[in-house]
Structure 1
Amino acid sequence: MESELVKKLTETASRIKPFDEEAALRADRHSDGLTKPPGSLGKLEAVARQLAGITGELWPDLSRKAVIVMAGDHGVCEEGVSAFPQAVTPQMVMNFLQGGAAVNVLARQAGADVVCVDVGVNADLAHERLISRKVVHGTANMAKGPAMSREEALRAVLAGIEVAEEQAKNGIRLFATGEMGIGNTTASAVLATVLTGMPAEESVGRGTGIDDEAWLKKVAVVKRAIEANAPDAADPIDALAKVGGAEIAGLVGVIIGAAACGCPVVIDGYISSAAALVASRIAERAKPYMLASHLSREQGHSKLLEAIGLSPMIHLEMRLGEGTGAVLCFHFIDAALLLMQEMATFESAGISKR
């Protein structure tokens, strides 16, 4: 069974087309011909270049967009690593489905869909808008042993791929990653420590707002999880299974699946970036399809982004997750494309370049 799952993952990764450098250069030339000093629009020009390289078009139609919110619970919550109880995960999932969460508000403003997926919530949920791809009823406590089996981790990744492919077939052309799972900053911190080598004292942040005593406990839990599981940094699936989470694995699949469909994917904060790092280690060709949205207040986030090779668009001191930072950046992406499409060139406006 595991070999079949690996085969499906490998096949999906192999469908990711290389970044189109020729199209990116066309975007550079077009941008330099617009009525402005070269490079004066900063990251907006870099975004336009990247989107051209991803899609092969100077101003692709990315008007259909969605944030994929993957949800899952974490057994490591037994260790008291969060300021909120685990029961909040299913409660927040219902909030997403009813349109009441921060990501719903921002998605409505951006004209984006919110797609909520249960890949590992420790509750039996039912709602007409919920996509159920449940692999586990919450992960096991990684401080005592593996969070998931390797097969479960692979199934969660493939669930994310399937969701991305389904959304692309329905016309979605721009993706954002979102998540919900009490305890998932702990899983992300362990993955960050394993995959980047940063010490736990740097990878562990405040999460849902824990105090100093709880932070020290969380650092100790991260160290214990690594000691208990000995995750292999050279094997991203091993690390994902032993010290990750079902929703993090689902996001790995969303990123790889979106890239395989030729779609850009905006990476949210710390948890999403942990998934993005795993995705980049599994499918290196997915990296150019990722755009970093913002720099989280989680202290290890900058090093995670650096390890992937991403630079965030904004820094608003956010640490909510859900996909909120990624959805905010849909506006900047729209702006970058409109500038490419609607600005006059020096030639068309009859303006001298010198």
Structure 2
Amino acid sequence: MMRELQNLIQSITPVNQAAIQRATERQTQLTKPTGALGDLEALSVRLAGVFGSERPAPQGAAVLVAAGDHGVAQDGVSAYPPEVTPAMVLNFLADTPAGPGGTAVNAIARTVGARVYVMDAGVNADLPIHPALHRAAVRRGTRNLREEAAMTPQETQTLILAGAALAREAIEAGADFIVPGEMGIGNTTPAAVITARLLELDAAAVTGRGTGVDDERLAHKVAVVQAALDRSNVTAPLDVLAEFGGYEIAAMLGMMLQTAALHRAVVLDGFVEGSAALVGVALCPALRDYLFPAGHCAERGHAAQLAHLGLKPMFDLGLRLGEGTGGVLALPLLRSAAATLREMQTFEEAGVPT
């Protein structure tokens, strides 16, 4: 299994620099003042590198929502009980008058034409048989990261490869944009521990309110994060993920690696996704250029993640829901950026004097 994961990582090649150069030159010739489209111009050039063309034409999109429970949730780090995780999975899959799924990400995905995939990455419940539920769980929730390693190395590798397989399925079905998403009560705690360790930051600098905890519970959450950091001194990326992470975080890492390996774009949602991205870029620096952060989320520590990755978010709407909602909201911006590079005429093509 480790060899399969190593092969996946090694299959990721840098984005196409020749296409980036051609796209950069084309941008300077389009019928507009240079820089007039702001960040859309930089996004379009980055997309050219991912898709290997100065006229990128990405269209299809999928959001892959991995759900998992966390042993640390029993320590009271969230405003909601762990039972919310399986209930939300059922909501992702529910039949509604508008279509499949009754969550925020379902509603937004329907609006922008993205397909929603749902994975049981380790939910602590008996989930019903459902044709749209992808089962990858190896255990009902992680162990308590404050007391012991959250996952074994084998479990971690299994979920990374399961996430990769789901991304591959979505891409084979036509997705050019993959939005990793997550659902798991308590999962901003493992994300904070991963971020603190990989970025060598204090617990308080990266631990936020998650589902909206009050000051007292936030202080407790910071203490839990610090206790986990004090418990283990691992620093290697996969060791950090196994020691402190979550099954859905491992699955999202696999989604990112596979998407990059197939030269598609990864649209990052928020803080929990960012923790998976930190592990991924530490394993494979080339992954970074396939990552497109959607919005700056309200969770403390997200800015530090993006700064470390050298990536600029597209908007700031104060989002902190998860599910991949921010990533799905970014899809029209990314499609529009590509369209300007692909479909706008140059001054010469349009016969406009310069």
Give TM class, smaller chain: over 0.9
Residue 85 (structure 1) aligns with: 81
Residue 13 (structure 1) aligns with: 9
Shift of 1:137: 0.8
Aligned with residue 26 of structure 1, among 13, 22, 30: 22
Aligned with residue 111 of structure 1, among 110, 113, 126: 113
Q: Are residues 1:272 and 2:268 paired? A: no
User: How far apart in 2 are the matches of 1:52 and 1:187?
Assistant: 34
Gaps of 5+ in 2: 95-100
Shift of 1:351: 1.9
User: How far apart in 2 are the matches of 1:216 and 1:81?
Assistant: 10
Structure 1 length-normalised TM: 0.96
Secondary structure at the aligned position of 2:144 is classed as: coil
Residue 288 (structure 1) aligns with: 289
Greater shift in the superposed pair: 55-64 or 160-169: 55-64
Greater shift in the superposed pair: 159-168 or 179-188: 159-168
Secondary structure at the aligned position of 1:66 is classed as: strand
User: How far apart in 2 are the matches of 1:304 and 1:136?
Assistant: 29
CA offset digits 1:3-42 (Å, max 9, x no partner): xx22111101111122111101111111111111112212
Aligned with residue 52 of structure 2, among 49, 56, 63: 56
Shift of 1:225: 1.0
Q: Are residues 1:47 and 2:48 paired? A: no
Residue 102 (structure 1) aligns with: 104
User: How far apart in 2 are the matches of 1:201 and 1:14?
Assistant: 35
Shift of 1:61: 3.0
Structure 2 length-normalised TM: 0.96
Q: How is 1:107-186 mapped onto 2 (pairs within 5 angstroms)?
A: 107-125=109-127, 126-186=129-189
User: How far apart in 2 are the matches of 1:138 and 1:122?
Assistant: 5
Gaps of 5+ in 1: none
State the percentage of identical aligned residues: 43
User: How far apart in 1 are the matches of 2:251 and 2:210?
Assistant: 20
Q: Amino acid of the residue matched to residue 330 of structure 1?
A: L
CA offset digits 1:226-257 (Å, max 9, x no partner): 12233x22x11111011000000000000001
CA offset digits 1:198-248 (Å, max 9, x no partner): 111111101000000000000000011112233x22x11111011000000
User: How far apart in 2 are the matches of 1:121 and 1:58?
Assistant: 43
Secondary structure at the aligned position of 1:188 is classed as: helix
Secondary structure at the aligned position of 1:145 is classed as: coil
Q: Are residues 1:65 and 2:66 paired? A: no
Secondary structure at the aligned position of 1:305 is classed as: helix
What is the aligned residue count? Answer: 347
Greater shift in the superposed pair: 336-345 or 17-26: 336-345
User: How far apart in 2 are the matches of 1:139 and 1:150?
Assistant: 12
Shift of 1:298: 0.7
Q: Is the 8 A contact 2:56 2:341 kept in 1?
A: no
